[in-house]
Amino acid sequence: MTTRRPNGRGAGGLAGSLPAGLAPVLSALFLWLFTAGAAWAATETTYVYDADGRLVAANMTLSSSTLGDFRYAPDAVGNILTATTTVGAYGTVVLSVAPEGSGTVTLGGADSCATDCQKTLGLGRSASVQAYAAQSRAFLGWSGGYAGTDNPHVFTMTGTMALTAHFGATGGKTDADPLSDVTEAGQSGRVFTYDGDGSGVADYLEDRVASLPTVTGKYLTVGVSGTRPLLTASARTAPSSCAHCPYGAVDVSASYPTSTNACLTYTLYLPNDARITDFYAYDGGEWIDFAYDGTTGAQIYREAARTRITVRVCDGKRGDSLKSEPTLIGLIGAPGYAAAATSSFMNLLLK
Ligand SMILES: [Ca+2]
Ligand SMILES: [Ca+2]
């Protein structure tokens, strides 16, 4: 508790000196309750008086990232305030599970709860959360306020904390594409919400979407149209003829929907990269510039946060890396760009 006496005249000296109606206003005004996102270290309160020495305002210094509860009330004569501060009274832990029904979470210590639970804890208090996988499932890691695999995860409440526990197959590969859950969990291997195609579904849960590191140390996502899972998805070295292929190449394949619809569209999702103007495909033992010709080939779209490349490939046609494989369509492709014109010009000069 903090009690500060302002410099105004004390009780008895100025009885009833508050302007009419101000006391109830102050009573209401100074009952401020911060429960989320507010910041208050509660260090200083500055009182403001009018020319007659009557209190007209109390300003509080707000800082830090803590949460708190502070209440002010005028005394009987109106110009002495009592400030009651209770910093650290509120903090909320919100827990959820994903994918739904694959496990439960508990909030340790004296508190415990099942799935989709919420608890209010004091700031500065130690909290412990633990994930329990359902049968034949495994706990993968946390997302939200903490991205890691500690289980239980013990932390100190410094504010509102929202956590989601992610679960997957016990073998470490949940969906039907060939990549492990960790591989698809972002470049760090810890972001189980990673959604490179922006579908709203984490990629480790999507058969037709694969996120993976490239041979150049970058990270990209590739998806395939239709209804069949990606059969293969791997990174490989770009053609030596490509001087500027910053993402290397990807090698993907899938089966096509029907004999009458023997084409697939692969989509690559890269970081926004204005340099990418070309797409090269490995075709019949050589790399070709696989530009869209109206039927097959690559089209490049630069979007706000990413570069998206759609690559149409038809069975046995140009760009199919598995021409001899019935029912399968493969793509070995590399996004890139040609040498800058000035470089070519300089090369000519140097020859
Ligand atoms: Ca996705
Ligand atoms: Ca996937």
Q: Do 61 and 118 belong to one domain? A: no
Identify whether residues 26 and 156 lie together within a single domain: no
193 Cα–ligand 2 center, Å:
12
Q: Give me the pLDDT at residue 344, please.
A: 40
Domain span at 64: 22-85
- Kindly give the distance from the C-alpha atom of residue 82 to the centroid of ligand 2, in angstroms, as a whole number: 60
66 and 101 assigned to the same domain: no
Non-local (6+) Cβ contacts of 167 within 8 A are: 97, 98, 99, 102, 103, 131, 133, 134, 137, 138, 139, 140
Domain end point (choices 30, 55, 85): 85
Reduced to 3 states (helix: H, G, I; strand: E, B; else coil), residue 61 is: coil
Residue 223 has what pLDDT?
98
Q: Do residues 245 and 292 share a domain?
A: yes
Co-location of 219 and 152 in the same domain:
no
Residue closest to 330 by CA, chosen among 316, 338, 320? 320
Are both 264 and 292 inside the same structural domain?
yes
Q: Ligand nearest 197 Cα, by number?
A: 1
Residue 246 counted as domain residue: yes
CA 228 to ligand 1 center in whole angstroms: 15
The three-state secondary structure class of 25 is helix
Q: Is residue 64 part of a domain?
A: yes
What are the tokens at 93?
């832990």
Proximal ligand: closest to the CA of 200: 1
Question: Across the 351 residues of the chain, what is the mean pLDDT of every consecutive 10-residue run?
Answer: 38 35 41 36 60 65 45 60 52 71 74 66 80 90 89 85 89 95 94 95 96 97 96 94 92 88 95 95 93 97 95 96 93 88 40 37
102-132: b or e for each residue (b if 16 or more CB lie within 10 Å)?
bbbbbbeeeeeeeeebebebebeeebebbbb
CB 22 within 8 A of CB 77: no
β-sheet bridge partners, residue 255: 328
- Structure-block tokens of residue 12: 């008895």
DSSP secondary structure string for all residues of 168-232: EETTS--SSSSS-TTTTSTTTT--TT--TT-SSS-GGG-TTEEEEE-TTS-EEEEEESSSSPPSE
The per-residue pLDDT for 96 is 73
Residues 76 and 139 in one domain: no
- 343 Cβ neighbours under 8 A, 6+ residues apart: none
Query: Which of 68, 85, 102 corresponds to the end of one domain?
Result: 85
User: CA–CA separation, 264 vs 27, rounded Å?
Assistant: 69
What phi and psi values does residue 76 have, to the nearest 5 degrees? -60, -30
Residue 164 lies in a domain: yes
**How many independent structural domains does the chain possess?**
3
**Whether residue 75 is found in the same domain as residue 153:** no
Based on the fold, state whether residues 158 and 272 are members of the same structural domain: no
* Final residue in a domain of this structure, among 154, 169, 184: 169
Instruction: Please indicate, yes or no, if residue 65 is contained in any of the structural domains.
Output: yes
Q: Which residues have CB atoms below 5 A from the ion given as ligand 2?
A: 175, 177, 203, 206, 209-210
Give the distance (Å) from ligand 1 centre to CA of residue 338: 31
Residue 145 lies in a domain: yes
Q: What is the pLDDT of residue 42?
A: 45
Residue 36 has a pLDDT of: 32
Does residue 49 lie in a domain region? yes
Q: Is residue 347 a part of any domain in this protein?
A: no
Residue 178 lies in a domain: no
* Ligand number, closest to the Cα atom of 210: 2
252, 140: one domain:
no
307 vs 41, 96, 204, 301, CA distance in Å? Answer: 44, 32, 21, 6
pLDDT score of 138: 92
Report how far ligand 2's centroid is from the alpha carbon of 229 (Å): 9
Residue 177 contacts residue 233 (beta carbons within 8 Å): yes
Residue 322 three-state SS:
coil
Same domain, 217 and 314: yes
Q: Are residues 243 and 327 in the same domain?
A: yes
